[in-house]
Structure 1
Amino acid sequence: MSSTQNLTAVAAALLLLGATAHAQTTAPAAPANGASAPAATPPRPAADPAAPKPFAEVSKDAKRQDGLFPIWRKDEKVWLEIPKAQFNKPFMFTVNYANAVGERGLYASQMGRALMAEWRRVGNQVQLIALNTKFRAEGGGKLAGEQAFSPSLLASGTLASAEHPERKSVLVDAALLLTDIPGMSTRLEMAYRLPFAADRANSYFEAARADAKLSTLTARMHFATPRIPAPPLTPAPVPMPTPPQATPDPRSMFLSFVYNFQALPETVMAPRRTDPRLGHFAESFSDLSNDNKPNPRVHYLKRWRLEKQDASAALSEPVQPITYWMDKNIPAKYRGAVEAGILEWNKAFEKIGFKNAVVAKQQPDDADWDNMDAGHASIRWFVGADVGFAIGPSHADPRSGEILDADIGMSDVFARGGRAFIAEDVGPGKHAAHADEDFCNYAHEAAAEMGFAMDVLEARGEIAPDSPEAEAFVQARIKDVIMHEVGHTLGLKHNFKASTTVTQAQLSDKAYTEAKGISGSVMDYNAYNLALQGETQGSYNNTTLGAYDYWAIEYAYKPLAPEAEAAELAKIAARSTELQLAYADDADADLFDGIDPLANRFDLGADPMAYFKRRLKLSQELWGRVQDRKPQAGDDPLRQRRSLVNGFNQLYRAAELVGKYVGGMHMQRDLPGSTGRTAFSPVEPAQQREALKFLASGLFSADSFRFRPEFLSTLQVDYNEWERVGPMNIPAAVARVQLVVLDRLLNANTAQRLMDLPAYVPEKQRKGIISLSEVYGTLQSSIWSELKSGAEIDRLRRNLQREHLKRLQSVLTKGGAPGVMADAYALARLHAVQLQSDLRAALGKGGQSVETRAHLAESLDMLGSVLRANMQRS
């Protein structure tokens, strides 16, 4: 026993002896005559200093807001009143972000996490517990599931009051919420690589709202870091992000968290299962109730509760419409376009018997309530230093998938960013990515598309900056993006095959595009429909819902009798084989870098290859017109530069997507036995070869990127932004386009698929199928064509050839590494040996410029070293 423990034991013994002696000396003596002693008045128990104070004492002079959990406020103190019946009763706990930093993904007006939670009382401790809804079970498996999977503690605090004498409710200090419940410190560290932490002492509650189904507290949270480290004396191998740029002092920032406590519906909505043949967001979990099914995963479709007022009527208004509040921060001149984008969805609901299912309301400019609380589905306009996106998240009841709240956030990328592409106020590359799992960057990319379209039309003289036509152009795109984001909040996922359901002839037909749009769905990322010179021009962008949108709404919202629902839903989903209902989501577009060339972001028409070829022609047309235009007094210095960049951005996307044809496979979303279609089928060999030919003659050709010296020499810089924009680097812009192709065609995934393609084709049909050796050979002969022709190799081509050698080196020196097949290595080595021979022969011919000879000699030496090197086998 330690000396400290000894002293403690002695002190305890002395206290015990003293207490015993005191009891003996103060005990009343028995009466001498033996009569009973009069009853002694029991001593008043000493107050327990740890016991909660009476409810009335704590709440004295505080103001009460009645609600799900009544809110009490007195000066800077805030309490939540928790009725006894509300302990251990689930509710929705959500966090939204009303105010933020304004950069690097940290923006205002964003929805945060949603959890099913409950209050738990452990003695005088109150805990806010997030319930585990990822694993569920009923019957005999329920207890085992609860034992296996833990809930999470979000916040805790001691009781602030004893029970109310009548209501039996207690008060808890709301300061338990003045912590980093959303985990924002991690987000800040990701953005800045600095240890920002919540500063409770300088955080407070700035707003509160409560009603029968909702209690909301807005916490103004201060985050700080003690110091900003000095920059390293030498540049780090990996560049570090800069400290915050949008705050006055980079060590300090305030963010506002809107904490919502929302009652769950007393009557759980009947869930509806998803079907993979069409796309809806889902509330997914593992059902461990029994082990009868090999796959325990369950997916409840996310949708609003929509019920007819008159169930027998063919067309009826709903009991409760889906209402979107347009926030007062939306500029007045764009509210009409936003409202039109919302209400467009009523066309789909009318097809299934609902009138005015979707309602748009404008928040009054003098309103004192905030749309960020969970009581209002909203559309909010926000700004940021590097922002350019729209997002359409929602929060749903985990028990059923019923959507309870949705807040569409849309940046001013069109009102400011989009118009900047016309007025030349904003440079390229200012829109940063947003790190959020629910992120939809349609608005960001659509704004870039709009910039290119505006440049082309202005260069043709068909539209002028600040003209009514330009205004209509912006308004139309706002409606398009709002339709897309509202679709997300109705439960619909992306559909990246929808654009392939419209032919080029239909795209050129203005009557068709005005009536039916330019794509089969507003849920695709649709490019601008720009005609080539001399062609008929249809609508520039989507004007209305497509056939897929009507189908997806029907599946999610059509009223169905419970006993007939499964059969009716199967019947609806079985229409997936119809051409107009083609569907592919993000997974299809991204699987193994994207293997289906029909599942793309920002293509247009039934033939994506033809679209990409047209984009090259449009970029070259734009560049030609920009070079012909003489700079005018008052022009922005970066105007012409931006037009060049907009064209290169189009080709970067085209290069990336054309590469999907090579080794590509078409995918069909069918259920087993539902159709006779194949799930995977190789892209036709002719199309794969066409893609290689387009890359060789278009994107690998230096002739596609010729600019007049007289033009390049006049490109100005903005001396106010000199540190951000230097001289125009054409070789770097060309390399960005070309390298995305090389990286795709020479990676292990493409090699694997090209080797596997014959296994998916009957033996008698394998003649003519494209091989990995053919791809390697075609690439090599295209990239190194000057070796045969004897032509000079200019700088752009030398850069391309060096990059090709780098990738060959990677394959040949790491051929035994995981993911690189032995056959792919052997074929790459075979073609490298042939290239070595061709380089020797070209050097032997002589007559080239010193630059070309130096390049050939360097390339030969590098390739020889690679072929002699031992492989670094794992």
Structure 2
Amino acid sequence: MKRLLPCLMLSLFFISIPVKGQKRNKKEDSKVPTNFNDATQSKDKNGIKKYSEVITKDAISDDGLFTVHKIKDEYFYEIPFDKLKKEMLWVSRISQLPQGLGGGYFNAGSKTNEQVVQWVRFQDKILLKVKSYANVADSTKAIHNSVMVNNYEPTLFAFDIKAFNTDTTAVVINVTSLFNTDVAAISGLSARLRKEYKVKKLESSLSFINGIKSFPENIEVKQDLTYSASEPPSFSDMESISLQMNQSMILLPKEPMQPRMYDPRVGFFTVSQYDYGSKELKADQKTYIRRWRLEPKDPEAYARGELVEPIKPIVYYLDPGTPENLREYIKQGIEEWQKPFETAGFKNAIIAKDAPTPEEDPEFSPEDVRYSVVRYVASTTRNATGPSVSDPRSGEIIESDIIWYHNHLRSYRNRYLLETGAANPSARTLNTPPEEIGEMMRMVIAHEVGHALGFPHNMAASYAYPVDSLRNGAFTQENGIAASIMDYARYNYVAQPEDENIRFIRQIGPYDHYATNWGYRLIPSASTMEAEKDTLNQWIRLRELDPKYKFGRQSSRFDPQSQTESVGNDPIKAGDYGLKNLKYVAQNLKSWTSDQTNDYGDLEELYGELLGVYNRYVGHVVTNIGGVYENLKTPDQVGLVYTHLNSAVQKASMDWLQENVFSTPSWLLDKDILQNIDHSGYFEELRKVQARQLDNLLSFDRIGRLIDAETTETEFYSALDMLKDLRTGIWSEVGRRTNVDIYRRNLQRSYLDRMGYLMTDEGPSPRNNDSDFERTLTFDVSASDVQTLVRGELKTLRNRLQAAKNSSINTMTRYHYDDAIARIDQVLDPGN
């Protein structure tokens, strides 16, 4: 027994160590349990080896946030214990991709996922955990425990501990398997794309880690992935999809930026949390604006109202692949925002730079999360975007990329010709002057930078200016064509040929200065976001009666004030001016295009886009009918948030539509255009244009709003009024006993099809209510007046068709009326 006792005591000593490891104290993250010490044993029973056996002399090491070791084809992270449980933002981006992926709207630089992660030790493993800030509570409150256990966070990946470093301050794991297997959360292919391209699996033999670089606050990984796919977007014979992903992991600030509470009266992108520690009798949703962290170098001077440079300005680099002739305009577009930031008290707050050359910085990469880059994409897609990455704890924007697609300028050239060509001689060409193309690009970049600064579209900005002011040269030169660059008011299509010194292209406006000041100006006296609220509210109240400072959500369905692609505060008057100009352009389109190039390709393209411009002008007037003004307010402000458009304007809008849409717009039927771009289909092209607006007018939500007006208004344009006026106009030949031509016959049949849809469809389904989009009106159609009204209109029309078909009309009209009666009978009595 005496000989056994020391052995037993020694055994108990070693057994006690792992038990202690499960009761972790505050210092545990900075040291290693004794039995894992490199000096005491070569390899323990769990497979943990000596550091020198894992990180051999062949290792190529890169110091940074973690030390990264490369040994042959394998990569190891040496994670300091003081970095465990630290919150890090993981951003997955496509670095290179095949042509056509995602229908052309994916590009080098496209973000595919963004998530907060933590590296956590569990026994002999390191877990990569995904952390959510959707539900939170103060850690000092009892409910914090309930939030944690009812919102258990998923594990993205698990790694065996391979070794501890020599001074027991860091753990070593092999991360190779994370990056050469198909991990959905960091993949470039969503479930939708996998289904679309019939992706089978990741081909491991054709997938590998391209490289890993470690920097002081971030790690950048490039991985090449090849998937087998039955229907890839390109290289179909290969039956595979290859793309390169960039995985960025950045250490989030230890102290989050002080959030600023969101106010819907000023437009900002947001992040939201449900705070279960709130004093409210429910989980309190807290919404913060997304913005960059700007802090003055001289806080005292800033507090005195002086312009002060920020400690860390916002810097955008130009993609090394940017064409030389466009770089100047891109830089100007970025730095357009310097003036609004001066309104917020910051000098040189945003700066544009060329990307460093490989000699200047061999490690520079556009995908590196440390750099914000204007990416220039060689793609036929016509678009530009301004996404950003933000800290979900506070809304702080960490990084953003502006995406510019190569062919986008062609869209702007075409729109410039179509929308301004009547009043703007320099737009009457396919070879737009370079300085005007540059000005367009400058303003598109400024618009996209606005998104990257946190600003959504403000569709009310174009409604701030009276229509006739847009014909005044001095006014447009000073104020532009809308109160914000963040509207979709691209060109001044209102100005007439006789007007002089007109500005035709949008620019930064007063709202942009106002919103930048509201979101970015520091309030030195307020040390918490709650303490800021009174001041922020006062800034809004000072401007509440001035339409230049109104924010309008991206809503073209019900609010005539907040429409895309519109200018001016009167859609009817703006539509009159716009169509007058468009008719002039149509008359001259051939001479400006095919007559100059001896080719009909541009004529065909521009005629198709001309129809789109026409549809937009018309759509602005359609929105007046059943229109509801949305003026976001707080209860301490005077007036209602929602008010219906007055009945006279709605009736005038219907008259306008009858004259400019439903009475055949013959000016669109120019045979010198049509018969040079296609052999047939002219009647169908026009029918589609008219049917689009007819369907827009006869929508459930519009009819529902007209019905709804009867519940709150004493004077209103009713659903019955609208349907009666529409029927009378579209079927005017019935009352006049005149023949119906092919275009009107097509329109009338489209009317019957749409009325049949209203009789049989159940109505719109609810959709998620995004802060940028209005909620679609949903209601029980079968219990409403909709089908009653439609049935009554169809029966009235049937009786009039029956009386008119025996009058002195031609055979085709008589056949048409017989067919219309049969169609109505089928709708009203589908059983026969």
TM over 0.5: yes
2:813 is the alignment partner of 1:852: yes
Task: Map 1:507-586; keep pairs closer than 5 Å.
Answer: 507-530=470-493, 531-536=495-500, 538-543=502-507, 545-560=508-523, 561-562=525-526, 565-574=532-541, 575-586=543-554
Aligned counterpart, 2:748: 801
Instruction: Extract unaligned runs of 5+ from structure 2.
Output: 12-39, 764-778
- Rounded Cα–Cα distance in structure 2 between residues aligned with 1:747 and 1:37: 89
Contact 1:100 1:255 (8 Å CA) reproduced: yes
Match of 2:273 among 285, 294, 297: 285
SS in 1 for 2:207: strand
Structure 2 CA distance, aligned partners of 1:453 and 1:814? 38
- For residue 154 of structure 1, report the CA deviation from its aligned partner: 2.3
Contact 1:655 1:737 (C-alpha < 8 Å) held by counterparts: no
Q: 1:450 to 1:55 in 2, by over 3 A?
A: farther
Superposition deviation, residue 843 in structure 1: 1.1
Task: Give the AA of the match of 2:326.
Answer: Y
TM-score (norm 1): 0.82
Give the direction of change, closer, same or farther, for the CA distance of 1:597–1:728 in structure 2 (3 Å limit).
farther
8 Å Cα contact 2:389/2:399 also seen in 1: yes
> Aligned equivalents of 1:537 and 1:733: distance in 2?
37
Is contact 2:258–2:394 with CA below 8 Å preserved after alignment? Answer: yes
Could you say if the C-alpha distance between residues 361 and 819 of structure 1 is closer, same or farther in structure 2, counting changes exceeding 3 Å?
Answer: same
Partner residue of 1:836?
Answer: 798
**Amino acid aligned to 2:395:** G
| Counterpart amino acid of residue 567 in structure 2 | L
In structure 1, the partner of 2:333 is 341
Check 1:196–1:819 CA distance in 2 against 1; reply closer, same or farther (3 A cut): farther
1:223-242 paired onto structure 2 within 5 Å: 223-225=227-229, 227-228=230-231
TM-score w.r.t. the length of structure 2 is 0.86
What amino acid does structure 1 have at the position aligned with 2:656? F
Match of 2:51 in 1: 55
**Aligned match of 2:661:** 699
Amino acid at match of 2:114: A
1:341–1:479 Cα contact (<8 Å) kept: yes
Match in the other structure for 1:645? 608
Deviations 1:541-590 (A, max 9, x none): 123x211111111111112121562321111122233221121122xx05
Q: 5 Å matches for 1:575-724?
A: 575-586=543-554, 589=555, 594-626=557-589, 631-632=594-595, 634-673=597-636, 675-709=637-671, 711-715=673-677
Q: Indicate conservation of the 8 Å contact 2:331/2:352, yes or no.
A: yes
Q: Provide the secondary structure at the position in 1 that maps to 2:560.
A: coil
Aligned-partner Cα distance in 1 for 2:398–2:423: 43
Supply the distance in 2 between the matched residues of 1:533 and 1:183 (Cα, whole angstroms).
54
Letter in 2 for 1:699: V
Q: How far off its partner does 1:757 sit? A: 0.7
Deviations 1:77-117 (A, max 9, x none): 22222112222221111112211233213321223322111
Task: Identify which of 260, 263, 269 aligns with 1:272.
Answer: 260
- Kept in 1: contact 2:420–2:427 (CA 8 A): no
1:710 to partner: Cα distance: 5.0
Partner of residue 224 from structure 2, selected from 195, 220, 227: 220
Q: CA separation in 2, counterparts of 1:548 and 1:36?
A: 85
Which of 436, 440, 446 is the matching residue for 1:473? 436
SS at match of 2:721: helix
Q: Answer yes or no: is 1:320 the counterpart of 2:312.
A: yes
Deviation at 1:639, TM superposition (A): 2.2
Q: Distance in 2 between matches of 1:331 and 1:844?
A: 69
Shift of 1:36: 12
The percentage of counterpart residues that share the same residue type is: 23
Give the Cα–Cα distance (whole angstroms) in 1 for the partners of residues 46 and 168 of structure 2: 23
Which of 670, 685, 692 pairs up with 1:733? 685
User: In 1, Cα distance between the equivalents of 2:658 and 2:486?
Assistant: 33
Equivalent residue pairs, number: 767
The range that moved more, 399-408 or 814-823, is: 814-823
Look up the match of 1:351.
343
Closer, same or farther: CA 339–36 of 1 in aligned 2, 3 Å? closer
> What amino acid is the match of 1:740?
R
Identify which of 75, 79, 86 aligns with 1:78: 75
Q: In structure 2, which of residues 367, 376, 384 is the aligned counterpart of residue 372 of structure 1?
A: 367
What SS class does the counterpart of residue 75 from structure 2 fall into? strand
Task: Please say if residues 86 and 251 of structure 2, whose CA atoms lie closer than 8 Å, have aligned partners that are also in contact.
Answer: no
Give the match for residue 704 of structure 2. Answer: 752
Query: CA, structure 1 residues 256+457, in 2 after alignment: closer, same or farther (shift >3 Å)?
Result: farther
Indicate the SS of the match to 1:669.
coil
Q: 1:820 to 1:618 in 2, by over 3 A?
A: farther
Distance 2:286 2:214 in 1: 34
What is the match of residue 402 of structure 1? 396
- Whether the 8 Å contact between 2:492 and 2:503 is mirrored in structure 1 is yes
- Residues in 2 aligned to 1:730 and 1:489: alpha-carbon distance in whole angstroms: 43
Structure 1 stretch displaced more, 42-51 or 87-96: 42-51
| Corresponding residue SS for 2:300 | coil
Q: Which position in structure 2 is the counterpart of 1:233?
A: none
The CA deviation at 1:821 is 4.3
User: CA–CA distance in 2 between the matches of 1:522 and 1:404?
Assistant: 23
Between structure 1 and structure 2, the one with the greater Rg is 1
Q: 1:500 to 1:130 in 2, by over 3 A?
A: same
**Cα offset, 1:738, TM superposition:** 1.7
Q: Deviation per CA, 1:609-655, whole angstroms, max 9, x where unpaired?
A: 32223332233222211356794485333222222212100122233
In the TM superposition, residue 820 of structure 1 has moved relative to its aligned partner by 4.3
The change in CA–CA distance for 1:580 and 1:209 in structure 2 (over 3 A counts) is same
